[in-house]
């Protein structure tokens, strides 16, 4: 087991390992990490039989691992080491460690979070409200798959960006790069919504193996009230259900957002946030002063 910086990783072998794994985690491909993280490397075995990505920063000589923006969780691919061994190894150099994973037993303490999944097999159980708004939207809006996320990003900036404290200007650039990269890799689908040839909304979906992940969306306030997002999700479900098994809504612990996803019949799935804080006292004090 060793730590290798991104520039020394064989990316072809890396991405093949993730693509061939039974684990479905689009957040761990090299192109995805390149888009979302300034610095990343990996704990890895010599033969790439077992790998785990590590996103980090280095402030004043203090290295800290963190979960990158627009990535929900990371996984170990392979079985030559486990999370206990990884964390012991990283703790020698990383003074703070933060990551998310679907297992609830990696450390004694964790923070449970929720996202919502919808099975794309079998009969769908949409709520009465969802059915009504889908019917209304389908009479009013047209849905098109496109390649340029510029309109979606501009609309997201004007309607949602200022309301989300966890996203900054640098993150918007990362989101743009991520969308462009996933389209180039044929692992992204941008579905735009039009009303009388006027762009009124869009949603971006990530595609990997048998899972579709809902990344980001935006709509005008008028289109939102008229059910555009309901129509968009229904269009996506219809489009993807033949080739994919799961629509991963990305999810939210915000009740109103989670309830929107559940109107399509999705159910909660748990994942867990883990934190190890061994930051030196001087660094913690400096953070308090600045923050």
Helices 150-159 and 169-184, axial angle in degrees (round to 10): 150
Beta strands in the chain (DSSP E): 2-5, 40-44, 51-59, 62-65, 94-101, 111-119, 142-146, 188-195, 198-208, 211-219, 246-248, 267-277
| Tens of pLDDT, residues 94-141 | 999 999 999 999 999 999 999 999 999 989 999 999 999 999 999 999
Residues 147 and 104 in one domain: no
Structural domain range at position 139: 121-244
In angstroms, the CA 165 to CA 175 distance is 15
Indicate whether 250 belongs to any domain.
Answer: no
Sheet with 198-208, side-by-side order of all strands: 2-5, 40-44, 51-59, 62-65, 94-101, 267-277, 111-119, 246-248, 211-219, 198-208, 188-195, 142-146
Q: What is the pLDDT of residues 187-242, one digit of tens each?
A: 999 999 999 999 999 999 999 999 999 999 999 999 999 999 999 999 999 999 99
Evaluate whether residue 227 is within a structural domain: yes
Residue 162 covered by a domain? yes
Residue 266 has pLDDT above 70, yes or no: yes
Residue written as tokens 């900036």? 157
Residue 209 token pair: 């193996």
Mean pLDDT of 153-165: 84
pTM for the structure as a whole: 0.93
Same domain for 239 and 131: yes
pLDDT surpassing 90 at residue 185: yes
pLDDT category at 250 given cuts 50, 70, 90 is confident
Query: For residues 88 and 253, which has the higher predicted lDDT (pLDDT)?
Result: 88
User: Distance of alpha carbon 178 from its chain centroid, rounded?
Assistant: 10
CATH of the domain at 105: 3.40.630.30
Residue 161: both structure tokens together: 């960006």
C-alpha distance from residue 263 to each of 21, 37, 211, 215, 266 (Å): 32, 33, 19, 18, 7
């Amino acid at each position: 087991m060793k730590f290798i910086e991104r520039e020394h990783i064989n990316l072809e072998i890396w991405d093949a390992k993730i693509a061939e794994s039974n684990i479905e985690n689009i957040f761990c491909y090299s192109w995805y990490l390149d888009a979302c993280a300034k610095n990343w490397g990996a704990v890895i075995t010599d033969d790439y039989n077992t790998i785990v990505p590590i996103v980090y920063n280095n402030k004043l000589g203090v290295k800290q691992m963190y979960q990158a923006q627009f990535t929900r969780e990371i996984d170990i691919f392979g079985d030559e080491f486990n999370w206990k061994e990884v964390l012991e190894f990283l703790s020698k150099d990383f003074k703070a460690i933060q990551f998310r994973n679907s297992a609830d037993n990696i450390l004694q303490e964790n923070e449970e979070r929720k996202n919502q999944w919808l099975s794309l097999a079998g009969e769908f159980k949409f709520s009465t409200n969802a059915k009504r708004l889908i019917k209304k939207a389908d009479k009013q809006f047209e849905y098109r798959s496109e390649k340029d996320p510029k309109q979606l990003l501009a609309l997201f900036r004007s309607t949602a960006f200022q309301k989300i404290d966890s996203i900054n200007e640098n993150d918007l650039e990362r989101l743009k790069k991520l969308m462009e990269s996933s389209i180039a890799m044929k692992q992204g689908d941008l579905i735009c919504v039009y009303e009388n040839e006027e762009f009124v909304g869009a949603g971006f979906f990530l595609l990997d193996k048998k899972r579709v992940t809902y990344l980001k969306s935006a709509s005008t306030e008028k289109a939102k009230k008229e059910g555009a997002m309901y129509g968009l999700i229904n269009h996506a479900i219809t489009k993807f259900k033949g080739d994919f098994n799961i629509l991963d809504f990305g999810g939210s612990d915000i009740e109103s957002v989670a309830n929107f996803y559940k109107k399509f019949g999705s159910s909660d799935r748990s994942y867990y946030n883990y934190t190890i804080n061994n930051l030196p006292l001087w660094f913690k004090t400096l953070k308090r002063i600045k923050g």
